[in-house]
Amino acid sequence: MTSKTTIVQALNQALDDAMAADPSIIVLGEDVADREEGGVMGVTKGLSTKYGDRVRSTPISEQAIVGAAIGASLAGYKPVAEIMLMNFTTVAMDMIVNHAAKLRFMSGGQTHVPIVIRTMTGAGFSVGGQHSDYLEAWFAHTAGIKVVAPADPAEAYGLLLSSIDDPDPVLFIENMPSYWTQGAAPEQGKRIPLGQARIAREGSDLTIVTYSRMVGEALAAAEALSKDGLSIEVVDLRTIAPWDRDTVLQSVAKTGRLLTVHEATKPFGVGSEIAAEVNEELFGRLKSPIRRLGGAFCAVPFSKPLEDAFAPTARTIEAEIRSILSPELTH
Amino acid sequence: MTSKTTIVQALNQALDDAMAADPSIIVLGEDVADREEGGVMGVTKGLSTKYGDRVRSTPISEQAIVGAAIGASLAGYKPVAEIMLMNFTTVAMDMIVNHAAKLRFMSGGQTHVPIVIRTMTGAGFSVGGQHSDYLEAWFAHTAGIKVVAPADPAEAYGLLLSSIDDPDPVLFIENMPSYWTQGAAPEQGKRIPLGQARIAREGSDLTIVTYSRMVGEALAAAEALSKDGLSIEVVDLRTIAPWDRDTVLQSVAKTGRLLTVHEATKPFGVGSEIAAEVNEELFGRLKSPIRRLGGAFCAVPFSKPLEDAFAPTARTIEAEIRSILSPELTH
Amino acid sequence: MSNYPKPDAATLVKIYEKMELIRQNDERAHKVVKAGRIIMPYYSPRGQEVIPSAISVSLTAQDYICTIYRGTHDMLAKGVPLKLLWAELAGRVTGTCKGKGGPMHITHPETGVMVTTGVVGSSMPIANGLAWASQLSGDGRVTIANFGDGAANIGAFHESLNMAALWKLPVIFVCQNNRYAEHTTFANSTAVERIGDRAASYGMPGITIDGNDPDVMYGAAKIAIDRARAGEGPTLIEAMTYRFNGHLLGDDGHYMDKEERQRAIAADPVARLRKRLIDEGALSEADAVRIETDISAQLDEAIEFALQSEYPALDEIRRDVFAHELA
Amino acid sequence: MSNYPKPDAATLVKIYEKMELIRQNDERAHKVVKAGRIIMPYYSPRGQEVIPSAISVSLTAQDYICTIYRGTHDMLAKGVPLKLLWAELAGRVTGTCKGKGGPMHITHPETGVMVTTGVVGSSMPIANGLAWASQLSGDGRVTIANFGDGAANIGAFHESLNMAALWKLPVIFVCQNNRYAEHTTFANSTAVERIGDRAASYGMPGITIDGNDPDVMYGAAKIAIDRARAGEGPTLIEAMTYRFNGHLLGDDGHYMDKEERQRAIAADPVARLRKRLIDEGALSEADAVRIETDISAQLDEAIEFALQSEYPALDEIRRDVFAHELA
Ligand SMILES: Cc1ncc(C[n+]2csc(CCOP(=O)(O)OP(=O)(O)O)c2C)c(N)n1
Ligand SMILES: Cc1ncc(C[n+]2csc(CCOP(=O)(O)OP(=O)(O)O)c2C)c(N)n1
Ligand SMILES: [Mg+2]
Ligand SMILES: [Mg+2]
């Protein structure tokens, strides 16, 4: 039996392993040093004790945090910056979008910005409208930055290592409500390449393309549907930008049906891009219209029943799939 | 013959007419008062002379600009804030996304934020990577804010009046390179309702859905294609969020083919949402795969040939349409 | 500060009543959350009671405040109705925001609570706008922008103070320096000893005072409020205080300096003011007890009301996104 | 300032050479753009020549600078090769950035020009990071963050100065106060008289000096650079200067105070230093002319090189987005 770990531990291990191997890796963010408890969630715990000044807690100054990461990366370091919650990327968007993502291009390749910006988010924690948003579509729409969102501890570990290795800026999105969910422990040093999706479950009737916490919900839905003989393939995108077209297209070519699922709201979301591309590539070869599930089109509500109704769940995914497959089910 | 005007003049007229009619309308932004020349492009020229303290030039402090607009709107004013260039919305994203767009919802409807944020952008002015981006997809993906982008002077006038009237926050996107292009003058006071697209040209073979400066390019392409007997319908979205599904679906149901065109980069852009929705609604009824055109996936390059190659043009739109229709053309 | 206006005995009693309300309200919040009766992120303002209490006695219901996730004390001092507050904390449709905002986003325009933000620093730019409205309309209102010591290092602080000073806005920036920003001490996040001194960067009056001293806090606030109302512009007040608890409920604050924390708790401003009022004869022990009992009863009632209330219907998800309900 | 280190005659000549290069370069830019030979947005640094010239003589090629759209003078003083610069201005593949960046985004790491930004204020947070790298590696470099008076009112300024002071970073914040931000005067955008005073908000040395006086500018920069190199942390220098031209080429600056502008132009720091060097015997008229002629020839050559160079191939659009070329 493999040993178990949590996403928090896996991320901590990835940072530790990376820093041990490469002295150019440095870490900054609010409360990340051990004097400040190694991060509000403990992701960076122990690192400052082990690596000293390479780990720095910062003032609450997100522009300065990302700016410092960018500058240090231009000078040869590989900074991992934490923006505590994804909603707070909003105060650092100039640094992320106008600078980190563009300096390689605008300098004609003379400089580059190999930084990782770790950030967490996700509904389900009763923290309301300004602390729960998934904003990955914004960054995927931005040339020059990669976007990664792991679904379990081993994935978090392997993808964070690859994100740190990567010569380009990476926005690394962690789901807060699943931080302490147990999963198989990663194999030390094992990287998961960016840009490669994974078939989290094989199936033949319909493909779900998803990522982050929704992978678990999709798998649960697939499991439930399997009891009715429905065979659902679940593709975990892992890297949202650039996304793995080949894997997605192969899967949908096989199943003939696609449902995209993410926690971000559906309109103008990641699912729309995937649907648009798959529709174009597999025109005339789909058995039913591509459907998309996403969070409700509103700020994440505080009130528990509303918050529970905000994001897709195994149950709503299952229902959506039944409605897609119902013509077949009913004849 | 109708008289002619420019977008700059039309916007100025809309602001003037709105301010004359409603004393709660106030204007703020960098250099907007006449002491500072009434805006770097002259859009607000004359307003401070006429309306005094209701028009205020601000320091270079975009968070404070949008914040002041939000606060004043909570107290009953209807502020029109200028963020000089769309790329500078990046320093005000917290105010726009976490506050302006969410306060109505998070307050349970007790407060609302009837502000307009005017901003300009667009490639073609040789201003390079940090001054030309179209970022409308970000805001369209944000619940609680509307996004409007006019294509000519009369449209700019009528849509700005409606944006000011609107009880919700509106991001109003102006194209810089076409600021001084002449067009028919608007009829005084004539509003163009938000959320309603317009058929800019009727056609039967293919629908182009577009907005902002690209409407002109699309019309030119349609005109060129008409010489070969191809009949292209051009839908000017006008309001990007919420977009006019009915008009778009009706048009595509009629033509059976869709090409979306915008200056923003294609991946995860507005075209993807439209393609995804149309594919879903008109599944099995399309004659060919939906195609999307957008700006190149890079920062807007400075070098003229690269900048010229960045965004779609009448020529590339025409070529794309020919390639879509080529099976028919060749038999 | 010796020439600050002083609160009279009746005003001090009013201040005390607010403080006791905040104290008991906080006690209840801890109890209710720990008992699992309400699930919410709760940021205790315990230890910071004096600040809004001594400010609010010089405000009208029409004056505006903007506050933060830790601002329950600010709201209570301003007069947010307890039932609506608690119903919101419980996520019920009877809450201030129909349960949709929650503890970090309490809004109640009737009592001037215009914005509660969860984003550090963001109370300030919006407060400017409210003050701008008052300046334009001449309605004579003032706006209080509350924020923490950590927030004094974010860009929005700088932009807001510069604009407020330039425009002479009737706004008062109240930095509640409780010595911590999450797990970070004030000294470890701030390159200067007094936030109050930063006012000089904006040609604005700025002071650093003992925010736990009701006389000083009242006097400083009164001067600033009078100034603002008279059209003389903004003031920055750094009110030194102390966060008795960890950052949020569940964080025991073990990383905080033990001695300093004990000293602060031993000098509990609520108990101190109570004792003083009794010592000075402004309040009898019996009156004090009556105040306490009244508050306790009101809280019982409010919490009961909250927990008996309905949750919002699911279609609330489609309401209040825009003026018109979504399809 | 009387105890500032003074530049010796040879250093002053070096400063002058840089200034003359900047002056002539600016003249050419006006000419070339007006003649339609190059199309670019051009933000003239004319009038601000002393600042980077007097700073750069105390810098090594390894030291870093971050500058802004108006920073041609900063780049030239730091040593950016003229040919590469002009080819970039002309959008040619032989330019510093293969023509992809353009005038607002000149980058040339070999001479330490790490970032040129078009976003007001954004040079500062990145400069901190470069300085942080030097602090970590102990490479002894210093970083200069250039920005304008208008930029001193944006959030990034505040966050950057606080972090730099807290971390004692080897960075120097150089506010080039040319009295205007686009069409807005300094007084109309800033609630305080001296940006240099804002250093007090960060416990950082801060001075406001005559940035058009080469002795003072040299001395203040030298002290700050030495401090930074010695690990003693950052300095804020507000260098008072004047923008001779409108905001950008095409804007005639008619809204600027006429007398003030005339006074500033009459006191042209380039002509002044030339005269002084000759008066003081540090430079002969003949040498001065030789310098001028040399520069002129170099500019001829650079502009010729630029205009003769090829534009980048269209596939450059797919390169440098990521490390790997896009498909
Ligand atoms: C922009 C932003 N960055 C980070 C956070 C996370 N955060 C929440 S509270 C807090 C500490 C704030 O400290 P302070 O301003 O002193 O207020 P206090 O909590 O002490 O009242 C932080 C960093 C946030 N909410 N917003
Ligand atoms: C964040 C941001 N807001 C607005 C602008 C538009 N803008 C460009 S230059 C400028 C004036 C800047 O003035 P200052 O900082 O004094 O520098 P100067 O141009 O005088 O050198 C403005 C407002 C911008 N580039 N970035
Ligand atoms: Mg604090
Ligand atoms: Mg300036």
C-beta C289 within 6 A of ligand 1: no
| Cβ–Cβ under 8 Å, residues D195 and D133 | no
Which residues are paired to A174 by β-bridges? A120
Q: Taking the CA of residue D150 as centre, how many other CA atoms within 13 Å lie in the half-sphere pointing to its CB? A: 23
Sheet of strand D64-68, all strands in order from the earlier edge strand to the far edge: D113-117, D64-68, D143-148, D171-177, D235-240, D206-210
- Residues with CB in 5 Å of ion ligand 3: C 148-149, 178, 180-181
| Ligand 2 atom with minimal separation from the D122 CA | 1
Is B130's pLDDT higher than 60?
A: yes
For the annotated catalytic residues of B, the residue numbers are: 62, 131
B60 lines ligand 2 (CB under 6 A): yes
Preceding omega of D103 cis (within 30 degrees of 0): no
End-to-end CA distance of chain B: 43
Which residues between 142 and 181 in chain B have a beta carbon less than 8 angstroms from any beta carbon of chain C?
A: 143-144, 146, 166-168
Distance D88 CA to ligand 2 centre (A): 22
Sort A46 into a burial class: Cβ within 10 Å, 0-12 / 13-18 / 19+.
middle
Q: Record the tokens describing residue D49, joined without a space.
A: 């020549």
The reported pLDDT for the residue numbered A329 is 53
Q: Can A187 be counted among the known catalytic residues? A: no
Give ipTM to 2 decimals: 0.98
CB B301 within 8 A of CB A275: no
Q: Which residue, B159, B140, B86, B81, is CA-closest to B114?
A: B81
User: What per-residue confidence (pLDDT) applies to D234?
Assistant: 98
Q: Do D157 and C157 touch (CB under 8 A)?
A: no
Flag whether pLDDT at D130 surpasses 60. Answer: yes
- Tell me which DSSP letter residue A229 carries: T
pLDDT tier, D327 (very low <50, low <70, confident <90, very high otherwise)? confident
Residue D254 has which token pair? Answer: 């008619």
Mutation pick from D189, D195, D325 vs chain B, by most beta carbons of B within 10 Å, is D189
Nearest CA in chain D to C156: D155
pLDDT-derived band at B327 (thresholds 50, 70, 90) equals low
Q: Which of the listed residues D72, D179, D182, D186 should we mutate to test ligand 2's pocket, taking the one with most ligand atoms within 8 A of CB?
A: D182
Same fold, B4-184 and B198-329: yes
Per DSSP bridges, beta strands B170-175 and B116-121 are parallel
Give the CA dihedral A60, A66, A72, A77, nearest 10 degrees: 110
Q: Is the pLDDT of residue A327 over 80?
A: no
The most distant pair of C-alpha atoms in chain D lies apart, rounded to whole Å, by: 63
Contact between A109 and D128 using a beta-carbon 8 Å cutoff: no
Cis before C205? omega within 30: no
Q: Is the distance from CB of A289 to CB of A309 less than 8 angstroms? A: no
DSSP letters along D250-279, please?
T---TTS-HHHHHHHHHT-HHHHHHHHHHH
Domain locations in chain D as residue ranges: 9-244+259-309
| Residues of chain C below pLDDT 50 | none
Closest atom of ligand 1 to CA, residue C149: 16
Residue C164 burial by Cβ neighbours in a 10 Å radius (0-12, 13-18, 19+) = buried
**What mean pLDDT is predicted for residues B207-222?**
98
Among C109, C110, C145, C107, residue whose Cα is nearest residue C126: C145
**Residues of C with CB below 8 A from B76's CB?**
133, 137
Which residue out of A62, A174, A217, A318 is catalytically annotated? Answer: A62
Across the strands, what pairs with A71?
A: none
CB contact under 8 A, B74 and C108: no
Distance B59 CA to ligand 2 centre (A): 10
Which residue ranges make up each domain of chain A?
4-184, 198-329
Question: What secondary structure letter does DSSP report for A96?
Answer: I
Q: How many CB atoms lie within 10 A of CB C127?
A: 32
Mean pLDDT of B167-172: 98
Please give the full DSSP string across B136-174, using - where no structure is assigned: HHHHHTSTT-EEE---SHHHHHHHHHHHHH-SS-EEEEE
From the CA of B30, give the closest atom in ligand 2.
23
CA atoms within 13 A on the CB side of C104: 27
- Crossing angle between the packed helical segments C155-167 and B62-74, to the nearest 10 degrees: 70
Strand partners, D176: D148, D239
CA of D276 relative to ligand 3 center, distance in Å: 55
**Which ligand does the CA of D51 lie closest to?**
2
* Ligand 1 close to Cβ of residue C238 (< 6 A): no
Q: Which residues 6+ apart lie within 8 Å of B326 measured at CB?
A: none
Measure the N-to-C terminal CA separation of chain A; round to a whole number of Å.
44
What is the total residue count of chain D? 327
Calculate how far, in angstroms, residue A96's C-alpha sits from the geometric centre of ligand 4.
25
**Token duo for residue A139:** 């960054």
According to the 3-state scheme, what is the secondary structure of chain C? CCCCCCCCHHHHHHHHHHHHHHHHHHHHHHHHHHCCCCCCCCCCCCCCCHHHHHHHCCCCCCCEEEEECCCHHHHHHHCCCHHHHHHHHCCCCCCCCCCCCCHHHCCEHHHCEEEEECCCCCHHHHHHHHHHHHHHHCCCCCEEEEEECHHHHCHHHHHHHHHHHHHCCCEEEEEEECCEECCEEHHHHCCCCCHHHHHHHHCCCEEEEECCCHHHHHHHHHHHHHHHHCCCCCEEEEEECCCCCCCCCCCCCCCCCHHHHHHHHHCCHHHHHHHHHHHCCCCCHHHHHHHHHHHHHHHHHHHHHHHHCCCCCHHHHHCCCCCCCCC
CATH architecture for segment(s) B198-329: 3-Layer(aba) Sandwich (3.40)
Residue numbers of A between 287 and 326 with CB closer than 8 Å to C? 296-299, 301-306, 309-310
| Beta-strand pair A146-148/A239-241 | antiparallel
Which phi and psi (to 5°) does residue D269 adopt? -65, -25
- The shortest CB-CB distance from A268 to any of B88, B270, B281 is to B270
Set of chain D residues whose Cβ sits within 8 Å of the Cβ of C156 = 155
* Selection from D307, D310, D308 nearest residue D31 by Cα: D307
Question: Is D191–C153 a contact, with Cβ atoms under 8 angstroms apart?
Answer: no
Structure tokens at B257: 């083919």
Interface of D with B (CB under 8 A): 39-41, 91-93, 97-105, 117-121, 150-151, 153-156, 181-184, 188-190, 255, 311-312, 314, 316-318, 320-321, 326
Helix (H) or strand (E) holding B225: helix B214-226
Relative to beta strand B206-210, strand B232-236 is parallel
Query: What is the sign, positive or negative, of the torsion defined by CA atoms of A157, A158, A162, A163?
Result: negative
Radius of gyration of chain D measured on its C-alpha atoms: 19
Continuous segment of H or E residues that includes residue B5 = strand B4-6
Distances (CA, A) of D149 to B35, D184, D237, D324: 18, 10, 11, 39
Alpha-carbon distance C262 to nearest alpha carbon in chain A (angstroms): 20
The DSSP bridge pattern shows strands D180-181 and D184-185 to be: antiparallel
* Interface contact D100-B306, CB threshold 8 A: yes
Determine the pLDDT at residue C327. Answer: 87
Q: How confident is the model at residue A328 (pLDDT cuts 50, 70, 90)?
A: low
Please identify, in words, the CATH class of the domain defined by A4-184. Answer: alpha beta
* Vertex C77 angle, CA C72 and C81, to 5°: 75
User: CA of D102: which chain A residue's CA is closest?
Assistant: A106
A102 Cα to chain C: minimum distance (Å): 23
The reply to whether ligand 2 has any atom less than 6 angstroms from the CB of D45 is no
Q: How is residue B309 written in tokens? A: 């190659």
User: Is A280 in contact with B280 (Cβ distance < 8 A)?
Assistant: no
Which CATH architecture fits C9-244+259-309?
A: 3-Layer(aba) Sandwich (3.40)
Distance CA(D286)–CA(C264), nearest Å, equals: 75
Distance C176 CA to ligand 3 centre (A): 7
* A246/chain D closest Cα distance in angstroms: 14
Question: Do the chains contact at A71 and D114, CB–CB below 8 Å?
Answer: yes
User: Can you give the pLDDT at residue C2?
Assistant: 76
Determine which one of A99, A131, A233, A318 is catalytic. A131
Given a contact cutoff of 8 angstroms between Cβ atoms, the answer to whether A113 and A104 are in contact is yes
**Residue linked to tokens 């230890």:** C47
Question: Quick one: which of D249, D241, D308, D316 has its CA closest to D19?
Answer: D241
Question: Between vectors from CA B316 to CA B280 and to CA A97, what angle results, nearest 5°?
Answer: 70
Q: How far is CA B298 from CA B132, B277, C218, in A?
A: 12, 26, 57
- The reported pLDDT for the residue numbered B331 is 40
C102: left (phi over 0), alpha (psi -120 to 50) or beta: left
Say how many Å lie between the CA of residue C120 and the centre of ligand 1.
5
Does the beta carbon of B30 lie inside 6 Å of ligand 2?
Answer: yes
- Residue A36 in contact with partner chain C when CB distance is under 8 A: yes
Q: What is the pLDDT of residues A207-254, one digit of tens each?
A: 999 999 999 999 999 999 999 999 999 999 999 999 999 999 999 999
Can you say how many angstroms the Cα of residue C105 is from the centroid of all Cα atoms in its chain?
13
Contact A60 C156 (CB under 8 A): no
